[in-house]
């Protein structure tokens, strides 16, 4: 900054005179308003740091998405249609069995009512007092007197209840509509059948017997992983905090899926190599147990998928383009399905494939799948180098 000082005689230099300038340095003074880091308060807004990489669960479940909703509805409708036909064919036998059990229940309830009104326990007390001899004479007389009073009171209750029941029945005959009679009869038959049916023998049996296996709960999964003989897993299961489940066990296609963190030093590859032992620990078929590594995560992150059925006995998934449909030849075309039932695409444009396997392992059935996409049409004339090989439905040179 420059300042002007008066010249000799106290006069300030004019425009025509030489200016005398002096540079004066300016210094900032401490105002005492600094705050130490330890005394600083946190921000008033929501801190979202560290949540950018968090994976969110889908809002719509996988079996209700647009590409699978038709399959889900078809499976549910087919299941209920089968149950309706199964039970409809056996409905006459159900009706006859219900009537028989209702008659048995009527006799059983009548016998129980008569036994309650006669107070059979009082007769037992009288017999015990008489068997005691002279020492029990007074007790026998008291038991006999008390028994007479109790039986008289209970038979009076039965009589009053019978009169009330007859009155209600007459009122029903006079004023109750037909649908009220139907509801009353259904309720009475249900009560009588409940008392007449034998224990453990239901009238209607299940149309489908489910496979006997345990759903994959966190406890079952922990026990199965602990049976693999890995020391680090055994240590955290026995004395440590246990396995870290990143997600809950949820439905995933035709099975269940769960994501978890393995102990330090244990990788997903260690579990994958012990897949057969893991299936034994889960009590599931070998083809229904699929441990996988999670892409873009650390080596100890494991995704475990447990199927509901043995995949080797399941019905094959039909090829999506077998009857109709479109696909992008320059992208990926439907090629196969994963064990979880998810579609797997394969690139076709400018891509060469070599398929090799033992006889009868699907070489001939594998090659035509991409070939269906190149079937000659009025607007496409594909050329390929497989002139010596021809398959039904595949492109031909």
pLDDT of res. 383:
40
pLDDT reading at 162 higher than 80: yes
Query: Of 341, 335, 338, which is closest to residue 320 (Cα–Cα)?
Result: 335
What are 205's two structure tokens? 């049996």
Give which of 189, 228, 38, 43 is closest to 106, Cα–Cα: 189
Instruction: Check residue 180 and give its pLDDT.
Output: 86
Alpha helices in 265-367 (DSSP H): 268-272, 275-282, 363-366
Domain boundaries, the chain: 89-196, 218-313, 326-397
pLDDT band at residue 206 using 50, 70 and 90 as cut-offs: confident
Q: Which fold has domain 218-313?
A: 3.30.980
Task: Return the structure tokens found at 375.
Answer: 């079937």
Average pLDDT over residues 218-240: 89
Rounded to whole angstroms, how far apart are CA atoms 118 and 313? 63
Q: Which residues contact 370 (CB under 8 A, 6 or more apart)?
A: 333, 335, 346, 348, 353
Specify the pLDDT at position 130: 62
Lowest mean pLDDT among 129-133, 176-180, 276-280: 129-133
Under 8 Å between Cβ of 392 and 368: yes
The helix (run of H) or strand (run of E) holding residue 335 is strand 332-337
The pLDDT confidence band at residue 65, using thresholds 50, 70 and 90, is confident
């Amino acid at each position: 900054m420059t300042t002007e000082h008066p010249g000799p005689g106290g006069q300030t230099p004019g425009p025509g005179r030489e200016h005398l300038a002096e540079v004066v340095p300016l210094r900032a003074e401490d105002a005492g308003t600094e705050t130490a880091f330890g005394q600083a308060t946190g921000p008033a807004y929501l801190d979202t740091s560290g949540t950018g990489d968090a994976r969110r669960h889908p809002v719509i479940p996988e079996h209700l998405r647009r590409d699978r909703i038709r399959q889900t509805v078809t499976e549910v409708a087919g299941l209920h249609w089968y149950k309706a036909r199964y039970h409809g064919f056996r409905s006459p036998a159900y009706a006859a069995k219900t009537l028989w059990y209702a008659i048995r229940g009527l006799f059983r309830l009548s016998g129980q009512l008569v036994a309650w009104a006669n107070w059979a326990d009082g007769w037992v007390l009288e017999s015990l007092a008489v068997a005691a001899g002279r020492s029990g004479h007074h007790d026998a007389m008291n038991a006999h007197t008390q028994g007479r009073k109790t039986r008289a009171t209970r038979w009076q209750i039965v009589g009053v209840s019978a009169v009330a029941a007859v009155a209600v029945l007459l009122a029903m005959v006079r004023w109750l509509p037909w649908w009220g009679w139907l509801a009353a009869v259904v309720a009475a038959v249900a009560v009588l059948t409940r008392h007449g049916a034998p224990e453990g023998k239901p009238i209607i049996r299940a149309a489908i017997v489910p496979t006997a296996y345990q759903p994959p709960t966190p406890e079952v999964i922990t026990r199965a992983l602990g049976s693999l003989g890995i020391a680090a897993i055994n240590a955290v299961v026995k004395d440590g905090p246990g396995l870290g489940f990143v997600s809950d066990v949820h439905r995933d296609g035709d099975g269940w899926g769960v994501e978890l963190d393995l102990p330090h030093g244990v990788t997903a590859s260690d579990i994958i190599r012990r897949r057969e032992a893991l299936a034994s620990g889960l009590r599931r078929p070998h083809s229904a147990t699929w441990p996988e590594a999670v892409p873009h995560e650390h080596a100890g992150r494991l995704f475990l998928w447990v199927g509901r059925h043995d995949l080797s006995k399941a019905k094959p998934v039909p090829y999506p383009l077998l009857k109709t449909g479109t696909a992008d030849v320059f992208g990926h075309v439907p090629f196969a399905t994963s064990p979880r039932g998810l579609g797997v695409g394969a690139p076709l444009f400018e891509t060469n494939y070599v398929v090799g396997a033992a006889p009868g392992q699907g070489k001939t059935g594998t090659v035509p799948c991409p070939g269906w996409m190149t079937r000659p049409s009025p607007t496409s004339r594909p050329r390929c180098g497989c002139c010596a090989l021809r398959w039904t439905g595949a492109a031909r040179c």
